[in-house]
Structure 1
Amino acid sequence: MAISSIGVGAGLPLDELLDQLRSAENKPLELLKSRAASVQSRLSGYGTIKSSIEALKTAAEALGKADTFGALKTSVAGEAFTATASTKAIAGNYNIKVNTLASGQSLTSDPQADRNVKLATGKVDVTVTLADGTETTLSLDAADTSMEGIVKAINEKSGLGVSATLVNDGKETPQHYMLLTAKGTGTEAAIASITVAANEANPALDVSQVNNLMAYDKVAATGAFTETEAANASISINGIDIESQTNTIADAIEGVTLTLLKTTEADKPQALSITRDDAVTSKAINSFVSAYNNLQGIIKTLTSYDVASQNSSALTGDSLARNVQSQIRDALNAANSSGAMGSLSQMGITTDPKTGTLKVDNDKLDAALKDNMPDVQKFFASETGLSKRIGAVADNFVKTGGLIGTATTSMTNSLKNLEDQYDTALGRIDAKMEAYRKQFTQLDVMMAQMNSVSSYLTQQLSMLGNIGKEK
């Protein structure tokens, strides 16, 4: 007898009973899921704390760099040049004239009617020598000895110091010119000579047509190229003449890099002012304070407990999170020096007793930077300064194999273990529920059969009872 749904044959709510049994069996699974969610929340919380510690470490490292203290800024009264200054520079004022800009040499060949015709029937060596002595040889196959082939070979050769292009005059029957341009500016980057020779594999090869196009000697003033000469940059600083191969001039004024843009008017130098830029130090200190406060706020949020709702956070009661907080605070409070700026409070940086966060009095900080920069630098950047202390504590937590790494590895293993337990329990429950289903199905079939027999017997007895009544 076929049963379309468990319980139909027996007239019993067997499907509902199976669902109730399943719910009862699933309770251990819910517990495993809850434990896994708790571990995952802790794991995520540790990741957030680690990122915040790394941000604090980065901010602390900036306070350990010499470039953060005594930085200089430049101001140019004009548009002939720009200037940047390193910490090696010295504050001062300068009058600068830009007489000439550095430019690159260019060579223009005699015109050719056909840019694709081969100028030799075999392999040709073309050697380019720059004024600084750099020598590079191109070995051209016969197919590459046309104007177009030579241009391609030049542009594909690294280290040649020369680029090439073809220009036509735009006429109905155009004439083609080869234009060679030195990649660098100044006289030392210019082309000194170009020689053409038959490759040693065929020394008797006629290379005259290639030679007529490419041969050049600047000193001897021979060759078919027309030259636009290179020029060096020429400036004067407070009356001192300086020459440069490029338009970027470094350390003519120690620690200062000038980038020339255009020439100045005759006898009208432009002023360069170099002054100390305390804003760089102030910004670095404020960035550190923000990173510190951010870490403290994150730890507070992740470890808080809401008494009213009795809800805990991901790391409520977690010892590692509290350890991070206490060690970072200890490193901050232990930092001191023997100079005029021996503590954070002397620079205008104080701790809020209610929140534990830092506050910056920027007016007081600016005054400290203005009057006591060396002592401020000593406080932050010395071997026993705040930067080193915070960095050491941070490394203890975030380095590979550090405290957070060890904890997260343990939790990752716990999650894997819980996942395995879940899968095992789920398989066991599925097997038990399948056994229940089969038993219920058999019960349903048996009850259906019994109900059928009962109905049949009832019918037969009813018929027997009616036999006597008919007489």
Structure 2
Amino acid sequence: MGLTSVGIGSGMDINGIVSALVQAESAPKVAKFDADEGKLNAEISAMGALKSALTEFQDSLEKLTDPDTFIARKVKLSNSGFISATADEKAVPGSYKVEVEQLAESQKLGSAPVVDATAALGEGTLVFGVDGEDFTVAVETGDSLETVMQKINDAEDNVGVTATIINGDNGPQLVMTSDKTGIDKQITVTATDTDGGTGLADTFTMTELSAAKDAVLYVDGLKVTSSSNTVDNVITGVSITLTDADLSKSTQLTVSADSDAVKSSVEGFVESYNELMDTISNMSGYDADTKKAGILQGDSMIRSIQSQLRGVLSSSYDSEDGSTMLANIGVKTTQQGTLEIDDKILNSALENDMTQIKDMFSTEDTGLAARLDGLVETYVQTGGTIDSRDETLDNQISRITDSREQLTRKMVSYEARLLKQFNAMDLVVANLSAQSADLTSRLASLPGVVPKK
């Protein structure tokens, strides 16, 4: 007798009963697999968020590990109408008087005027030179002043000549401007006719329209000449750009330590650290409103990170002027484990103790920033602590997957066994029912037996 949905002998829903029994057997195990896998996936997600937060915090340390951050310079000008200026770490703090007599200018040359800028000029070559370099333009039959202008500007080996056509009273002229300023950057033009005529030579007999000039300025009364309007290292570490000239007007240029840049770096460090602590708190804390614990509450790695970071932040650091710590420069730890800045103390430290601040943060290997960077690196580096944790979690999920497959195979076998047992029972019941019916029929046919109505 084949397997049936409803038992022939018993009338029971065998498939329904078997399905319910299999479900009852597997449901608790599947629920546990789901819960365990969900927790593991949540931990993996938390590890990713933690690694990202640690990496962002590590990025905020970059400027603090660089000693140049603490010797940055800034420039203040009494008058911004004549110069702009920047200073690097080599600049010496001080004040300088700057006067601009003349701006550097580029030379301009004009060709002879022509009647028609679209008329053919002749055939030959034009060689243009600037500052010891040159390039050649081939003038072909039919080329006009407009064509030559385009060829000059489009030449890949152009060494710094820009051409344009000015339509003056005497007719169109090709005007060439050197891209470089200064009296040493003058343009030379050599025209050679190859068609037997003199069209090119006549047209490119050049006239100086504007002379090249060097910039002239005075720094504390000392004359400085420059071919460019950007003058570097006349004052050590300072780059000055000239924008206008008037010898009767002076500009006071003051170089000083750029404490604002250092303060910005310290503020960025504090902000990034607090964001890291918020991330860790959300993962490991308890939300009284939702009555839910963070996915990493009680996690030993989280506790270790917090403990190690606090240890580095509370340490004392040696410098040329003695030892110091974060609290001494106005960076203090709150009861919540975050950092806060006392602006008054920090500003005073930046003004009076920059060397100590520099040594505390940027000393190679042993400075605060270097120690924090090294600590974070052990967690975020490829193959580091977080990667190892991820690998462990992935392995646990793989084992759950294996257990699911094993349970599936077990339940298939269990279902088959139950169906076989219930089918056998149904067959017995069917046989008994048949025997009962036969016996009843025989008894009813005996003499003297009155069938029941």
- TM-aligned CA deviation for residue 125 of structure 1: 4.2
Give the deviation of 1:102 after TM superposition: 1.8
Q: Conserved in 2, the CA contact under 8 Å of 1:212 and 1:224?
A: no
1:82/1:425 CA distance change after superposition, 3 Å: farther
Q: Give distance in 2, aligned partners of 1:107 and 1:69.
A: 50
Deviates more, 1:47-56 or 1:76-85: 47-56
* Aligned pairs for 1:428-467 within 5 A: none
String of CA shifts for 1:285-320, please: whole Å, max 9, x gaps.
222222222222321221124589763322223333
Partner Cα distance (2:142, 2:280) in 1: 70
Asked whether 1:381 is paired with 2:362, we answer yes
Aligned amino acid, residue 186 of structure 1: G
Find the aligned partners of 2:411 and 2:44 in 1 and give their Cα distance.
31
1:224 alignment partner in structure 2: 206
Aligned length: 424
Match for residue 84 of structure 1 among 75, 83, 86: 86
- Check the 8 A contact 1:341/1:372 in 2, yes or no: no
State the one-letter code of the partner of 1:156: D
Greater shift, 20-29 or 377-386, is seen at: 20-29
Report what 2:135 is aligned to.
136
Q: Distance in 2 between matches of 1:228 and 1:54?
A: 57
Q: For residue 186 of structure 1, report the CA deviation from its aligned partner.
A: 2.1
Higher mean displacement: 47-56 or 422-431:
422-431
How far 1:127 moved relative to its partner? 2.4
Per-residue CA distance 1:212-255 (angstroms, 9 max, x = gap): 33x4xxxxxxx234432222221111211111222211211111
**Equivalent residue letter for 2:272:** A
What TM-score do the two structures reach when normalised by structure 2? 0.76
Cα 1:162–1:22 change in 2 (3 A) is farther
Letter in 1 for 2:92: I
Matched, 1:371 2:352: yes
Tell whether 2:183 aligns with 1:187.
Answer: yes
In the TM superposition, what is the alpha-carbon distance from 1:26 to its structure 2 partner? 6.6
Question: 1:128 Cα shift?
Answer: 1.8
Contact 2:166 2:175 in 1 (8 A): no
In structure 2, do the counterparts of structure 1 residues 224 and 40 end up closer, same or farther at CA, with 3 Å as the change threshold? same
Task: Please tell me the residue identity of whatever aligns with 1:369.
Answer: L
How far apart, CA to CA, are the structure 1 residues paired with 2:185 and 2:20?
Answer: 87
Aligned to 2:149: 151
State the Cα deviation string for residues 120-139 of structure 1 (Å, max 9, x = none): 2xxx5432211x2122334x
Name the CA shift for 1:115/1:400 in 2 (closer, same or farther; >3 Å).
farther
**Contact kept? 1:116, 1:149, Cα under 8 Å:** no
Q: CA deviation at 1:113?
A: 0.7
Task: Describe the superposition over 1:161-183 as per-residue Cα deviations: whole angstroms up to 9, x where unpaired.
Answer: 33444436399xx9543232212
RMSD over equivalenced CA pairs, Å: 4.4
1:115 pairs with one of 113, 118, 130: 118
- Residue 328 of structure 2 corresponds to 346
Paired residue for 1:292, among 273, 297, 303?
273
Give the C-alpha shift of residue 98 in structure 1: 1.3
* Shift in CA distance, 168/62, structure 1 to aligned 2, threshold 3 Å: closer
TM-score by length of 1: 0.74
How many Å separate the matches in 2 of 1:155 and 1:413? 66
TM alignment of 1:43-442, pairs within 5 A? 43-78=44-79, 79-109=81-111, 110-115=113-118, 117=120, 119-120=122-123, 124-130=124-130, 132-138=131-137, 140=138, 142=140, 145-167=143-165, 169=167, 175-191=171-187, 193-197=188-192, 205-206=195-196, 208-213=198-203, 215=204, 223-264=205-246, 266-305=247-286, 311-338=292-319, 339-352=321-334, 354-383=335-364, 384-411=366-393, 417=398
Q: Is the 8 A contact 1:186 1:231 kept in 2?
A: yes
**Secondary structure at 2:317's aligned position in 1?**
coil
Unpaired runs of at least 5, structure 2: 424-429, 431-453
Cα pair distance change 1:342/1:146, threshold 3 Å: same
Deviation track 1:114-157 (CA, whole Å, cap 9, x = no partner) reads 4263632xxx5432211x2122334x373784333322332223
Secondary structure at the residue paired with 2:49? helix
Q: Which amino acid aligns with 1:86?
A: D
Shift in alpha-carbon separation, 1:317–1:126, aligned structure 2, 3 A: farther
Amino acid in the other structure paired with 1:119 = G
Q: CA deviation at 1:419?
A: 9.3
Contact residue 30 and residue 404 of structure 2 kept, 8 A: no
The 10-residue stretch of structure 1 (89-98 or 397-406) with the greater mean CA deviation from structure 2: 397-406
Of 161-170 and 71-80, the range deviating more from structure 2:
161-170
Q: Which amino acid letter does the alignment assign opposite residue 285 of structure 1?
A: V
Which whole-Å CA distance do the structure 2 matches of 1:55 and 1:306 have between them? Answer: 25
Report the CA distance shift for 1:136/1:31 in structure 2 as closer, same or farther (over 3 A).
farther
Q: Secondary structure at the match of 2:56?
A: helix
For residues 312 and 143 of structure 1, what CA distance do their matches in structure 2 show?
87
Q: Report which stretch shifted further, 17-26 or 320-329.
A: 17-26
Please report how far the alpha carbon of residue 423 of structure 1 lies from its aligned counterpart in structure 2 after TM superposition.
9.2
Asked if 2 retains the 8 angstrom alpha-carbon contact of 1:340 and 1:372, the reply is no
Q: Provide the rounded CA distance (Å) in 2 between the counterparts of 1:249 and 1:431.
A: 86
The letter of the residue matching 2:231 is I
The whole-number CA distance in structure 2 between the counterparts of 1:270 and 1:329 is 49
Identity %: 24
